[in-house]
């Protein structure tokens, strides 16, 4: 049987942008009811209920999934199981987070509809529609997409995505009937007033990449809880989003169609959240200020501390080269 998903392109083309909390496309009932029911009931999506983590990994591997490197996750099973059993491994992921999970991507589907769906989201036609919607010159870009499952503990603290990312989309295809009640949905957020200086810093210092920040710096406008919904956006200094999952993945896993369009890689400077915080409290050293003065091409006043002194963020190595 052959499946046509061209109507999804039409839905994207005809969609309107929403502005809360930032510019994005949100579409409910993305797939037709018939397609969606078939998708979530396929063996690759609806994994049997498992007794323990070892059984779950066996089921996922047999279904064609492989563990991948992904932000907010580790890829060592034994370390992950240790954390699940109560071993404190804080700091292993990112200092702005408290937990981590594992992400698996489907590489060897067997069902016809899942095979064709995976090919469709990777197709030139689908990605051209996404690029055109956001005004992206896709010819110089690279694509990354797939069908993914995210296990318990998966966490990415609030972030707007790095500058290299041109577009990203997420479609909920969760197999659990009560998926909308689970604690694993993406938060769409904005900076609290006291932390908008960070957004200003990114706006005025384009040579610095964007970073993850602590949860308490931001507030959630809404979560993408609806099954069969898509969120599509084009990263900017305002596209703050986050995820912190805490659920029983033995009975059903958070599952998405996930994809990115990437600009060509360029050298970037990095200021993690600890140094962004220093922008506002005036604690940077004179020697560091001088190094930044020599390295930043244009002089921009970015944020004032209580004494009225304008300061720039410290140049430092990023803890994660693939910091979404």
What share of the chain has pLDDT > 90, as a percent? 75
Band (pLDDT 50/70/90 cuts) for residue 91 is: low
At 96, phi and psi to the nearest 5? Answer: -90, 0
Q: What pLDDT score was predicted for residue 324?
A: 56
Contact between 311 and 289 under an 8 Å Cβ cutoff? The reply is: yes
Mean pLDDT of the chain: 87
pTM higher than 0.75? yes
Which CATH number among 3.40.1280.10, 3.20.20.70, 2.60.120.620, 3.40.47.10 corresponds to the domain 6-206+215-262?
2.60.120.620
User: Which token pair is 254?
Assistant: 């958070």
Burial of 72 by CB count in 10 Å (0-12 exposed, 13-18 middle, 19+ buried)? buried
Going from N- to C-terminal start, the domains of the chain cover 6-206+215-262
Band (pLDDT 50/70/90 cuts) for residue 183 is: very high
Contact between 261 and 50 under an 8 Å Cβ cutoff? The reply is: no
Contacts of 108 (CB under 8 A, 6+ apart): 64
pLDDT tens digits for 189-210? Answer: 999 999 999 999 999 999 999 9
Beta strands in the chain (DSSP E): 25-27, 65-68, 103-106, 142-150, 155-159, 165-172, 187-191, 218-223, 230-233, 240-244, 254-262
pLDDT tens digits for 14-32? Answer: 999 999 999 999 999 999 9
pLDDT(85) > 90: no
pLDDT(311) > 50: no
User: Which token pair is 209?
Assistant: 């990449």
């Amino acid at each position: 049987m052959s499946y046509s998903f061209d109507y999804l392109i039409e839905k994207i083309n005809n969609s309107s942008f929403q502005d809360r909390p930032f510019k994005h496309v949100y579409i409910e009932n993305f797939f037709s009811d018939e397609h969606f029911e078939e998708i979530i009931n396929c063996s690759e999506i609806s994994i049997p209920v498992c007794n323990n983590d070892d059984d779950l990994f066996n089921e996922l591997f047999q279904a064609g999934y492989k563990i991948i490197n992904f932000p907010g996750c580790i890829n060592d099973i034994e370390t992950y199981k240790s954390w699940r059993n109560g071993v404190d491994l804080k700091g292993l992921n990112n200092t702005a987070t408290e937990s981590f999970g594992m992400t698996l991507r489907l590489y060897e589907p067997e069902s016809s509809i899942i095979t064709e769906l995976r090919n469709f989201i990777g197709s030139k036609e689908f990605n051209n529609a996404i690029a055109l919607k956001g005004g992206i010159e896709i010819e110089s870009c690279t694509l990354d997409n797939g069908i993914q499952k995210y296990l318990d503990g998966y966490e990415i603290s609030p972030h707007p995505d790095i500058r290299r990312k041109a577009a990203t989309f997420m479609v909920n295809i969760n197999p659990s009937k009560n998926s909308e009640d689970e604690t694993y949905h993406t938060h769409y957020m904005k900076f609290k007033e006291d932390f908008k200086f960070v957004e200003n810093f990114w706006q005025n210092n384009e040579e610095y990449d964007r970073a993850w920040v602590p949860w308490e710096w931001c507030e959630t406008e809404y979560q993408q809880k609806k099954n069969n919904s898509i969120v599509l956006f084009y990263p900017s200094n305002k596209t703050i989003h986050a995820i912190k999952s805490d659920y029983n993945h033995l009975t059903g896993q958070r599952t998405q169609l996930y994809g990115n369009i990437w600009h060509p890689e360029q050298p970037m400077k990095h200021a993690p959240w600890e140094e962004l915080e220093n922008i506002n409290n005036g604690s940077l050293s004179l020697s560091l200020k001088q190094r930044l003065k020599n390295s930043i091409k244009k002089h921009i006043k970015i944020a004032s501390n209580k004494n009225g002194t304008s300061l720039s963020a410290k140049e430092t190595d990023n803890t994660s080269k693939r910091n979404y």
